[in-house]
Amino acid sequence: MPSFDIASKTDLQTLDNAINVARKDILSRFDFKNSKSIIDLDKKSVTISITTEDDMRLDSIIDVLRSRMLKQKLDPRIMDLSKDHFPSGTVIKKDIKVREGIDKENSKKIIKLIKDSKLKVTAQLMDDIIRVSAKKIDDLQGVIALLRQSDIEIPLQFINMK
């Protein structure tokens, strides 16, 4: 019986490369001259830490990070920007959590979307991945097309097609 897995994983080495290139871009920009802006990746907690002087520079840094991620073929939706920045003395800090895996809320949304599509497939949650199986490969390809057109706020990869 053909099947595939739906996952949401991030390549940390590619993310680290994107952050390093973004750091170099920011250091070479004129509007960041004499700035105390720092971008750092904590690989253990998978968090991007940004420290800078004001909101305008913070927004610019996030825009540079997004563009670098796109050039490295990373989906910028991996950054969880819901948490606000906080002041720390004369600078402001923002910790951006990198999304890993499919959380319960999004997995329920994906499974409901698959079941509502009336395709003859079965979807089951296994830790942080969703396994979809069917009798025909065409139904599996229909599920992939359906999920690519949906408005799920996390990037999805379709792996282990058997």
**Residue 128: is its pLDDT beyond 90?**
no
**Residue 161: is its pLDDT beyond 90?**
no
What value does the mean pLDDT take over residues 97-122?
A: 91
Query: Which among 133, 46, 24, 136 is positioned nearest to 95, based on CA atoms?
Result: 46
**Residue 103: is its pLDDT beyond 90?**
no
Cβ burial, residue 123 (10 Å; 0-12/13-18/19+): buried
Tokens at 155, concatenated:
């990037």
- Tokens 């973004």 belong to residue: 22
Give 47's contacts (C-beta < 8 A, 6+ positions apart).
41, 95, 96, 97, 98
| pLDDT tens per residue, range 64-89 | 999 999 999 999 999 998 889 888 88
Q: Which domains does the chain have, with CATH numbers?
A: 3-8+101-159 (3.30.70.860), 12-98 (3.30.70.990)
Work out the pLDDT band at 33, boundaries 50, 70, 90. confident
What value does the mean pLDDT take over residues 86-113?
A: 91
Work out the pLDDT band at 151, boundaries 50, 70, 90. confident
Q: What is the pLDDT of residue 44?
A: 92
**Residue 61: is its pLDDT beyond 90?**
yes
What value does the mean pLDDT take over residues 109-119?
A: 91
| pLDDT tens per residue, range 89-99 | 889 999 999 99
**Residue 32: is its pLDDT beyond 90?**
no
| pLDDT tens per residue, range 135-145 | 999 999 999 99
Average pLDDT score over the chain: 91
